[in-house]
Amino acid sequence: MRFSSTFFCLQVAVVQQAPFVMKNSNGEFEGYCIDLIDELKKLMNFEYELYEVEEYGKMDPDMNWNGMIKELVDKVTMQSLSWTVIGP
């Protein structure tokens, strides 16, 4: 998280999965989750920077995560934006 002229700037990890998060022909992110964070930005007065990670995350046999989950566990990012299903 960085402070900016508004209030703060969130570093937000994203995984592409249409129609939730995807890149358009200009290389900009769009989709349902992007629309949602844009509306939250207006209501709560913050800025954000999106960066892409390759996958949601899997745990290896040594109990280490990769992907978006690793970013959250290692506190590289404090927010993630994606479509996720949690199940057994």
CB count in 10 Å sphere of residue 1: 12
Quick: pLDDT tens for 30-68.
999 999 999 999 998 889 999 999 898 999 999 999 998
- Could you give the residue ranges of the DSSP H alpha helices within 2-86? 32-44, 67-73
Strands (E), the chain: 9-14, 22-23, 29-30, 47-52, 79-81
Instruction: Determine the Cα–Cα distance for residues 39 and 37; give it in Å rounded to an integer.
Output: 5
34, 77, 17, 87 alpha-carbon torsion, rounded to 10° = -120
pTM exceeding the 0.95 threshold for the entire prediction: no
Domains of the chain: 9-81 (3.40.190.10)
